[in-house]
Amino acid sequence: MGTVLMEFTHERLEDLCSQVQSVAKQAGNFILSERQAFSSNKIEVKGHNDFVSYVDKGAEKLIVKGLKEVLPIAGFITEEGTEKRDDNPLKWVIDPLDGTTNFIHGMPFFAVSIALLQGKEPILGVVYEINQDEMFTAVKGGGAFMNGSLITVSKAATVKDSLLGTGFPYYDYHLLDEYLELFKHLMQHSHGIRRPGSAATDLAYVACGRFDGFYEYSLSPWDVAAGILLVKEAGGVVSNFDGGDDAIFTKEIIATNQEIYEEFFALLRRFMK
């Protein structure tokens, strides 16, 4: 049987999920312990506004080692590329430190994000927001949880009554003008817009109802794979800017509760397409 057809029982997924939480927590503890001693001299620049430190790489190595023990058969897609085995349809998608810029500047939002993908579909997702010690988890078909308690998306019925999360473009400016037009509109027709700086955390916040919606473009699979499953399992809707449901690989994402999705999608199309 090819790995793409590998079936996991709900119990098996739950068991994997609790092991992944331990790995995420270990990485979180490492990241936190390095924070005091962190020096800006130790930052490398990957691209325009794209930073990486030994903390990102160290956390990633720790996570990869842990996950190899949890499920040796699976491949990997990782942000820092310390492990390259992405030919397996069953693979871990890892961001060891989502919110590196926040981490570097001593700002609060940064998280470990780990998803297990079967083909293009996430079947397990863990986002661990380190500062608040909040562990967001989901397995396909099993609901979403924060520190073990069931979470659901918000009940806001209109965009006007919504608090929205977004990420500002930081290296890809091809939609900047359209983005700012939508921003201008939402600023005047919503409860407000926040930019925490960690997409994984933003999606977890949609899942638990703190945000009613989130949108951003030019994200990578490791930023969103786990968060997408969290939002879906918490009863929300996720799509790309064309309405397609494969937002992991299409670099554009909208994630909202059920109620505001159509209205928000229409606004996005009006201003950004």
Q: Which residues bind Ca ion (CB under 5 A)?
A: 79, 95, 97, 100
String of DSSP letters for 14-61 = HHHHHHHHHHHHHHHHHHHHHHHH--GGGEEEEETTEEEEHHHHHHHH
Q: 30 with 77: CB under 8 angstroms?
A: no
- Residue 74 binding target from ligand 2AM, Ca ion, none, CB below 5 to 8 Å by type: none
**Which residue, among 171, 107, 159, 112, has the nearest Cα to 137 in the 3D structure?**
112
* Residue 6 CB, nearest approach to ligand 2AM (Å): 29
Using CB under 6 A as the binding rule, the residues of this chain from 117 to 176 that contact ligand 2AM are 167, 170
Q: Please report the sign of the dihedral spanned by the C-alpha atoms of residue 77, residue 215, residue 131, residue 209.
A: negative
> Which part of the chain contacts ligand 2AM (CB under 6 A), choosing from 34-42, 172-180, 191-199, 227-235?
191-199
CA distances for 80 relative to 46, 59, 94, 108, 268, angstroms = 10, 10, 9, 21, 31
Q: 217 with 172: CB under 8 angstroms?
A: yes
Q: Based on CB atoms, which residue is closest to ligand 2AM, 98 or 212?
A: 98
Long-range contacts of 82-90 (CB under 8 A, 24+ apart): 82/57, 88/3, 89/2, 89/3, 89/4, 89/117, 89/118, 89/119, 90/3, 90/4, 90/6, 90/116, 90/117, 90/118
Using CB under 6 A as the binding rule, the residues of this chain from 209 to 268 that contact ligand 2AM are 216, 223
Binding to ligand 2AM by CB under 6 A, coded x per residue (else -) over 46-65, reads ---xx---------------
- Residue 198 binding target from ligand 2AM, Ca ion, none, CB below 5 to 8 Å by type: ligand 2AM
Please identify which residue in 28, 165, 197, 236 interacts with ligand 2AM, judged by CB under 6 A.
197
**By rule CB under 6 A, what count of residues binds ligand 2AM?**
15
Tokens of 247: 């937002």
* Residue 113 CB, nearest approach to Ca ion (Å): 8
Q: Based on CB atoms, which residue is closest to ligand 2AM, 107 or 157?
A: 107
> Which part of the chain contacts ligand 2AM (CB under 6 A), choosing from 11-19, 126-134, 195-203, 265-273?
195-203
Q: Based on CB atoms, which residue is closest to Ca ion, 128 or 145?
A: 128
d(CA 46, CA 79): 11
- Residue 49 binding target from Ca ion, ligand 2AM, none, CB below 5 to 8 Å by type: ligand 2AM
Q: 179 with 217: CB under 8 angstroms?
A: yes
**Residue 262 phi, psi dihedral angles, 5° rounding:** -60, -45
Residue whose C-beta lies closest to ligand 2AM: 167
Using CB under 6 A as the binding rule, the residues of this chain from 67 to 126 that contact ligand 2AM are 79, 95, 98-101
Q: Based on CB atoms, which residue is closest to ligand 2AM, 107 or 163?
A: 107
Question: Where does this chain bind ligand 2AM (CB under 6 A)?
Answer: 49-50, 79, 95, 98-101, 167, 170, 197-199, 216, 223
